[in-house]
């Protein structure tokens, strides 16, 4: 497979769609369609799971009532197998909590004429620096 020449456009459109779906409680369950039943992996704050069912179980267990992702940067790279690496940085706001910085990385794998999320790595940007 060759590099996908539309990697930037696809990565940016995917990112907008993903967070629009995630931030809307009525469409959050539809995120399941973006993952693969067996070949998708999620690492959420260091906790790893595999497959759509386990990933959605984790996402549905999050305790916020409202969430809003504010994306500040999207970096996309083509992969030699036709996939796309997407690195997202931004802030998220849940309920009445103060905004938190986050980083999320996706590996999008080709699946016919579309893509699925093969890897999804999410981390809040928290710095635990021990006092010296």
pLDDT tens string 25-69: 999 999 999 999 999 999 999 999 999 999 999 999 999 999 999
The strand pairing partners of 93, in sequence order, are 68
pTM of the entire predicted model: 0.93
pLDDT exceeds cutoff 90 at 132: no
Structure confidence at residue 131 (pLDDT) = 52
CA distance 32 to 66: 19
| Residue 26: predicted pLDDT | 95
Q: What is the DSSP string of 70-95?
A: EEEEEEEEE-TTS-EEEEEEEEEEET
Among 13-17, 66-70, 123-127, name the one with the lowest average pLDDT: 123-127
Q: How far apart are CA 122 and CA 102, in angstroms?
A: 7
Q: How confident is the model at residue 130 (pLDDT cuts 50, 70, 90)?
A: low
Q: Listing from the earlier edge strand, what are the strands of the sheet with 41-44?
A: 47-50, 41-44, 114-124, 100-111, 84-94, 67-78
CB 107 within 8 A of CB 85: yes
Q: Are 34 and 116 in contact (CB under 8 A)?
A: yes
Count of all residues that appear for the chain in the document:
132
């Amino acid at each position: 497979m060759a590099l996908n020449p539309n990697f930037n456009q696809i990565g940016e459109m995917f990112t907008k769609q993903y967070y629009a779906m995630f931030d809307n409680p009525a469409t959050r369950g539809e995120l399941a369609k973006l993952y693969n039943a067996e070949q998708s992996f999620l690492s959420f704050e260091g906790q790893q799971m595999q497959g759509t069912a386990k990933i959605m179980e984790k996402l549905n267990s999050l305790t916020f009532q409202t969430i809003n992702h504010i994306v500040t940067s999207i970096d996309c790279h083509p992969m030699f197998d036709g996939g796309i690496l997407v690195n997202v940085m931004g802030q998220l706001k849940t309920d009445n909590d103060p905004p938190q910085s986050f980083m999320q990385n996706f590996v999008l794998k080709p699946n016919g004429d579309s893509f699925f999320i093969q890897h999804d790595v999410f981390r809040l940007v928290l710095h635990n620096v021990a006092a010296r």
